[in-house]
Chains A and B, each alone.
Chain A
Amino acid sequence: MALMSSPAEAAAPALDVERIREDFPILKRLVREHRLVYLDSAATTQKPRAVLDALARYYAQGNANIHRGVYVLSEEATAAYDAARVKVQRFLNAAASREIVFTRNTTESINLVAQSFGRRNIGPGDEIVITHMEHHSNIVPWQLLCEQVGARLRVAPIDDSGTLQLDALEGLLGPRTRLVSVVHLSNSLGTINPVEDIVAMARARDIPVLIDGSQAVYHMPVDVQALGCDFYVCTGHKLYGPTGIGVLYGREALLEQMPPYQGGGDMIRSVTFEKTTYADLPHKFEAGTPHISGAVGLGAAVDYIQGIGFDALVPHEADLLEYGTAALAEVKGLRIIGTAARKASILAFVMKGAHPHDVGTIVDTEGVAIRTGHHCTQPVMDRYGVPATARASVAMYNTREEIDALVRALHRVREMFPV
């Protein structure tokens, strides 16, 4: 998929961005006397009214604990929770809803795989392969596992543009490789990794693959069956849904053989002091009362995205990225970090003579919200020899005018920190 499409292609299914903006109440907010320009969707997206209404309606009309309640409210809440799972299943095109496990976030999904799949299948001397552009949440859980079982973490390099060196990754796949865990879309560089190729390389060697789709799922259609990956993880709050609800997709055969991650209520079939048997998928991995309203909100978010459609959303965001890349290049002394050929959403940069934190504070006074720091990818910062970057990221509700507002604010930075 070429996300940097030509203007002619981009014009095809036009996205009515003004109408979309009407769906997001927060975009009307004033910040420091300016209309909010929200360019930090890679950290979390704003929420459409459909999601806010679903949350309010659930608590106002349908709140009850799920499972085992024999009264109407509990039955309705259970049905709403189960329906949300089916919506996510269809969104990712998983084969069955029992392959969708609700977690707290992407981080918890990865930790679940590390501690359940990992501790059962990975041992002393075994290897886990990741890439240099992983978020800390796809590094640290594996480091913890490696310490626990005596395995080794191998890291596939990236080049100066932020493109994964695929040949080098393939070179790391060996007889001791027990898992490949890679990010689909990098949060600090914007690189889209060739996950189809990575899955093919790994499957040829019978190595399972986990894909961290935290950033990818709201920028491009994802079909886990077509990808052929074993695990796919993402989070609700970047999918225009609530915080506190995450998703683990796992192939049924793998989830079946994995032991529970946490023990407690709801994940059991029967409990005695002598022996406990576990519930079927996906409940085996959902101990305790889950984030019911979060799941309901996520279901509404998935409906909302599908109502807009990736056919309209992808060219719109590609146009913003292209426009933004060109506009930022005009700012004196600005260098974009992450210039891979296949990119989406992310415009990370550093400015000569101005620290990213000062950049962030100055643009904030113009109402422009961007993120500054290491973006939980310190190895990427080290790779580029910078302590931090400033990062603008676009989503479906952003406009070219907002990019212009960012650029105007960056000129203010330049005035204050001349080069």
Chain B
Amino acid sequence: MSDLRELYQEVILDHNKHPRNFGEIEGADRHADGYNPLCGDRLAVYLNLDGERITDVAFLGSGCAISKASASLMTDAIKGRTVAEARALFGRFHAMITDDADAPPPEGVGKLAVLAGVRDYPTRVKCASLAWHTLRAACDDLHEPVTTE
């Protein structure tokens, strides 16, 4: 059970049940759709930008607890940051969830650290990264849905 609590921490279960910034932003400056063909998870990310700064962000979709919590935590983490900062955070986050189990505790990821347990479950990495891939597509203003495959 302790292993499992490492993955499904209370914060994750809470964000799954009560996702933050959940919904659509009407007339958003940017939006992208993401799809994980492995499990059928779909989500959309909406952004409002003031120049390079992300002034508002929201997501909508269905998925497992990991993907939903990750999307919710992501929106909290990037709101008010610049696009470049969000990209850099994705880099650190991705490194964290794909590190081997013995890697030192992640730095500079803030609350996202609760998702570090994902690295022990390789098949779930895509669940945790779907929202971030979709965010990147929104930042790049891509109109084709992104997939994790």
Asked if A39 lies at the interface with its beta carbon under 8 angstroms from chain B, I say no
* Contact status of A416 and B40, CB under 8 A, knowing A357-B64, A362-B4, A365-B3: no
Interface set, chain B 42-81, CB cutoff 8 A to A = 42, 62-66
Q: Give the top 9 A-B pairs by smallest Cβ distance, nearest first.
A: A355-B64, A387-B40, A357-B64, A388-B40, A358-B65, A358-B64, A357-B39, A365-B4, A373-B39
B40 touches A361 (CB 8 A): no
Residues of B in contact (CB 8 Å), total 20
Q: Nearest Cβ in chain B — how far from A126, in angstroms?
A: 31
CA distance A372 to B123 in the complex (A): 11
Q: Nearest Cβ in chain A — how far from B43, in angstroms?
A: 11
A361 touches B7 (CB 8 A): yes
Binding site for A on B (CB under 8 A): 1, 3-4, 7-8, 13, 38-42, 62-66, 121, 123-124, 127
B65 touches A355 (CB 8 A): yes
CA distance A387 to B41 in the complex (A): 7
Interface set, chain A 370-401, CB cutoff 8 A to B = 372-374, 378, 381, 387-388
* Contact status of A357 and B1, CB under 8 A, knowing A372-B39, A381-B40, A416-B13: no
Give every chain B residue within 8 A of A361 (Cβ-Cβ).
Answer: 7, 121, 123-124
* Contact status of A357 and B62, CB under 8 A, knowing A362-B4, A416-B8, A417-B13: no
Give every chain B residue within 8 A of A374 (Cβ-Cβ).
Answer: 40
Give every chain B residue within 8 A of A412 (Cβ-Cβ).
Answer: 1, 4
A417 touches B40 (CB 8 A): no
Measured CB to CB, the nearest residue on chain B to A372 is B39
CA distance A388 to B39 in the complex (A): 7
B39 touches A416 (CB 8 A): no
Give every chain B residue within 8 A of A416 (Cβ-Cβ).
Answer: 4, 8, 13
A355 touches B63 (CB 8 A): yes
Give every chain A residue within 8 A of B41 (Cβ-Cβ).
Answer: 357, 387
Q: Is the interface of B mostly helix, strand, loop or mixed?
A: mixed
CA distance A183 to B41 in the complex (A): 27
Interface size class of A (residues with CB under 8 A): 10 to 19
Asked if A118 lies at the interface with its beta carbon under 8 angstroms from chain B, I say no
Asked if A32 lies at the interface with its beta carbon under 8 angstroms from chain B, I say yes
Asked if A356 lies at the interface with its beta carbon under 8 angstroms from chain B, I say yes
Q: Nearest Cβ in chain B — how far from A408, in angstroms?
A: 12
Q: What are 25 inter-chain pairs, A to B, with CB distance below 8 A?
A: A32-B3, A355-B39, A356-B39, A356-B64, A357-B39, A357-B66, A357-B124, A357-B127, A358-B64, A361-B124, A362-B4, A365-B1, A372-B39, A373-B38, A373-B39, A373-B40, A378-B40, A381-B40, A387-B39, A387-B42, A387-B62, A412-B4, A416-B13, A417-B13, A417-B65
Give every chain A residue within 8 A of B7 (Cβ-Cβ).
Answer: 361
Measured CB to CB, the nearest residue on chain B to A360 is B123
Give every chain B residue within 8 A of A354 (Cβ-Cβ).
Answer: 65
CA distance A329 to B123 in the complex (A): 28
A-B contact sample (19 more), CB < 8 A, given A355-B65, A374-B40, A416-B4: A32-B3, A356-B64, A357-B39, A357-B41, A357-B64, A357-B66, A357-B124, A358-B65, A358-B66, A365-B1, A372-B39, A373-B39, A387-B40, A387-B42, A387-B62, A388-B40, A412-B4, A416-B13, A417-B13
CA distance A365 to B7 in the complex (A): 11
The interface centre, meaning the residue of B39, B40, B66 with most chain A CB atoms within 10 A of its CB, is B40
Give every chain A residue within 8 A of B62 (Cβ-Cβ).
Answer: 387
Give every chain A residue within 8 A of B124 (Cβ-Cβ).
Answer: 357, 361
Interface set, chain A 335-375, CB cutoff 8 A to B = 354-358, 361-362, 365, 372-374
Q: Nearest Cβ in chain B — how far from A383, in angstroms?
A: 14
Q: Nearest Cβ in chain B — how far from A253, in angstroms?
A: 41
Q: Nearest Cβ in chain B — how far from A106, in angstroms?
A: 21
CA distance A282 to B143 in the complex (A): 50
Q: Nearest Cβ in chain A — how far from B116, in angstroms?
A: 15
Give every chain A residue within 8 A of B3 (Cβ-Cβ).
Answer: 32, 365
Give every chain A residue within 8 A of B123 (Cβ-Cβ).
Answer: 361
Measured CB to CB, the nearest residue on chain A to B7 is A361
Q: Nearest Cβ in chain B — how far from A364, in angstroms?
A: 8
Measured CB to CB, the nearest residue on chain B to A364 is B121
1/0 contact trace for A12-37 toward B, CB 8 Å? 00000000000000000000100000
